Chains A and B, each alone.
Chain A
Amino acid sequence: MTVTTGVPTLIPGRRGAALPFVVGAALVVVMAVLPLLNISIPGILPGATYTPGTLALLSLCMVFAALALSYNLLLGTSGMLSFGHALYFGAGAYGLGLALKLVGVPLWPGVLIALVGGLAIAAFTGAISMRVSGIPFAMVTLAFAQAGSVLVRRNQDVTGGEEGLRLPVDQIPAWLVGVSNTRNLYWVTLVVLVIVYLVVLWVDRSRLGHLAQATRENELRVQVLGLRPYAAKLLVFVAAALCASLAGIAYMLLQSGTQPSAVGADLTITVLVMVVLGGVGFRWGAIVGGVLYTILDQRLTVLARAEWIRDLPDVLRIPLSEPLFLLGVLFILVVMFLPGGIAGTIDAAVRRRRGERTRSQLRQIDDADDAVAEPAAVRA
C-alpha cells in the first residue's frame, strides 16, 4: 500500500518507461507535418489542416499549452498558487513589442531583451511575494499582476494603452509576416512548445525540481535538513516565469500585436482553469488542458452565434451564448467532482488497476499547507 505522488516518476529499467518519450516524439512529428496535410475534423477545427485559419487556431492552442505547462511547473511541482502568472506572459509579449519599437533592434535580439526583461520582473516580484506563502501568496501575486496591468493601460504613449501594442512588422523577417506565412508561425510556436516542455521536464527532473517538490510536501522538514526552500522555490518561480515569457513572445508574433488583457488577472485565471481542467501535476495534462480550453472557447463562441440559439427563450439563450459562463461552470464541476482533472483521473484509474493508491495533487498541496499551518496555530 504505497501512496504515490501525482507526478509520474521515471524508474530506470521499468518496462514501458520509454513509452512517453516515443509517444511524445511521434506527436511532435505529426504536429510538424500537419500543415502539409489535408485533414478535416468537422466540429473541432474550422477547416482543413493546411488552411491559415486552422493553423492559427492550432498555434494559439500551442501557445496556451506552453503557458499552461509553465503554470503547472509553478502549481504542480512546487505547489505555489499564483494569480500573477499573466504578468510574465505579458512581459514577454510587451517586452518584444517595446524592444522592437523603442530600441529598434531586429527580431532575435528583441526576443533576448524580452526574455531578460521577463526574468528581471520575475526575480523581483517573486522575491517579494515569497515572503508569504499559501493564500496570501496568491493575493500578493495578484496585486503585482494588477500593477503591471495598470502600468500598461496607463502609459498610452509607450504601450498603446487599451488599444494594445502592434508589432512593428518591418523589423520582423519576411517569412514570419502575413497570412500566407501562418505555416511558419505555426512551426515557430511548435518549437516554443517543445522548448518549454523540455525546460519544464528538465526542471522537474533536476535536483532543483526535487527540492521544490519536497518543499511543497513539507517546507519545515526541508529547512531542518539544512536546505534552502526559499531559493529553490524562487528559482522554480523564475524558470516558470521565463517559460511564460517565451509563450508571450510566441503569442506576440502569432497575433502580431497584444492587448492589455495579456497582463491582467483574467488571463491568469484562464491558465489556472486550463491546468486544473487538464490535471494539476501532469505535464501532458497541462498541454491537453491548454489545447482543450482554447478549442472549446473558439467552438463555444461559434456556437453562441448559431441560429438555433438565437431562437431560444432568454433563460436558455443568455447562458448558452456566453462561452466563458459555460467554461466557468465546467471548471466548477471539474473541481468538485473530478479534482484530478483529465490527466489525474486517467492516471488514478491506471494506478488503481495496478493496485496502487492515489490522491489528487490538489489534495496533497492542501495537506502540505495544513501541515505548515497547524503548528503555527498551536504556537499562537
Chain B
Amino acid sequence: MSSIVLILLTGVGLGALYFLVASGLSLIYGLMHVLNFAHGAFLTLSAFIGWQVAQALGTASWGSFVVSILVGALVGAVFATLTELVLIRPLYERHIEQVLVTVGLSFAAVALFEGIWGTDAVNIAGPAWLKETTEILGARIPNTYWVLMLAAALVLVALVLFLKKTRYGMIIRAGVENRSMVTALGIDVRRSFTLVFAIGGAAAGIGGVLAMHYTTFVSAHLGATLLIFAFIVTVIGGLGSLTGAAIASVLVAVLQQFANVYLSGTGDFIVVVLLAVVLLVRPTGLMGRKA
C-alpha cells in the first residue's frame, strides 16, 4: 500500500514538472501552430540563472529559493518574448520555417550554455527541507515533489484565471478556437502571440528552476530531456488543450513511475508505447478537437 502511494504521489509530482513545460508548448501550438523546440533552451537558461541567483544569495535559505524561482520565471519570459519578436514574428505564417528557427536556436543555445557553464553538470543545494521526506499513509514522499505539485497547481490556476477572466485571455482562447474569425472581428491576434510566448516561457522558467532542485543538478542538456516528455504529453493530451496537457502530464508521469518500479526501469519506453497506442486509437489526443 505505502509503496503504491509513494509511486502515485511521486508520479503526480513528476507530472507537475511535465505540465510546467508542456502548458506553454500546448498554448503556443494551439494559438500559433508553432512547435517550439527552443522551449528547452528557455528552461535551461532559467535554471542556470536561477542557480547563479541562489548561489549569490546563499542556497540554504527559503528567500533565495523563492527569489531564484521568480528570477527564473522572469528570465524565461524575457527570453521567450525576445525569441518571438526577433525570430518568430518575421516568419509569420510560415510554420515549418518557424519550427526550424526554434530548432536552430535550441542548437545554438545548448552549445553556448556549454561554453559558459561547462559541459559538466553543476550541483545545487536547496533549502534543507527539500532533502527531507514527509510521511503520508506510510509512504515517505521527498519534499521536492510537494513543491513541484504546489508550483504546477498555482501555474494552472493562474493560467485558467487569466484565460477565463481577462480580455487578453479571452482573445487567446478565441484565437485557439478560430483565429481567422478573431482577425476578421478586427482584433490583432499577433499581439497575443508575444504574450503566449512570454507566459509559456515563464512557466518553463519556473519548471527549469524546480527541475534543477528536483535533479539536484543543472546541465546544458536539462531542457532537451524534459522537452521530449513535454512533447509526448502535449500530443497525448491533444495539441492546444491546457486541460489535456494537465491530465496527460499526470497520466504519463504516473505510468512512467509505475513502469520504472514494477517493470524494471522501462518507464521511458512505456511512455512511448502509450503515445503509440493513443495515436492509433485517437490520433487527435485525449482532448484534441480537430478530427
- Chain A interface (Cβ < 8 Å from any Cβ of B): 81, 128-129, 131-132, 135-136, 138-140, 142-144, 146-147, 150-151, 154, 265, 269, 272-273, 276, 318-319, 321-329, 331-332, 335-336, 339, 362-363, 365-366, 369-370, 373, 376-377, 379-380
Contacts and interface: CB of A to CB of B under 8 A. Distances in A.
B115 A321 contact: yes
A365 B100 contact: no
B94 A328 contact: no
Given A331-B103, A332-B101, A335-B101, 9 more contacts: A143-B228, A143-B271, A146-B272, A319-B115, A322-B115, A328-B105, A328-B106, A336-B91, A370-B93
B90 A336 contact: yes
Interface size on B, as a range, is: 35 or more
A272 B290 contact: no
A249 B102 CA distance: 31
Interface stretch (B7-15, B130-138, B187-195, B229-237): B229-237
A325 B108 contact: yes
Nearest to B114: A322
B178 interface: yes
Contact of B115 (A318, A327, A329): A318
B63 interface: no
Interface in B187-239: 224, 228, 231-232, 234-235, 239
Given A135-B33, A328-B105, A335-B100, A147 B279 contact: no
A159 B109 CA distance: 30
Given A146-B228, A332-B101, A380 B290 contact: yes
A276 B103 CA distance: 12
Given A272-B100, A319-B115, A322-B114, A136 B291 contact: no
Contacts of B95: 135, 366, 369-370
Dominant SS among interface residues on chain B: helix
B82 interface: no
19 contacts: A81-B96, A128-B280, A129-B279, A132-B279, A139-B35, A142-B231, A143-B275, A147-B268, A265-B228, A322-B112, A322-B114, A324-B107, A324-B111, A332-B87, A336-B87, A336-B97, A336-B101, A339-B97, A380-B178
A366 B97 contact: yes
B278 to A, nearest CB: 10
Contacts of B239: 135-136
Contacts of A365: 96
The 4 closest A-B pairs by CB, nearest first: A328-B108, A324-B111, A328-B107, A325-B111
A326 B109 CA distance: 10
A369 B33 CA distance: 11
Contacts of A265: 224, 228
B71 interface: no
A273 B104 contact: yes
B105 A369 contact: no
Given A131-B280, A147-B268, A335-B101, A140 B235 contact: yes
Nearest to A132: B283
Nearest to B116: A318
A276 B109 CA distance: 19
Nearest to B277: A128
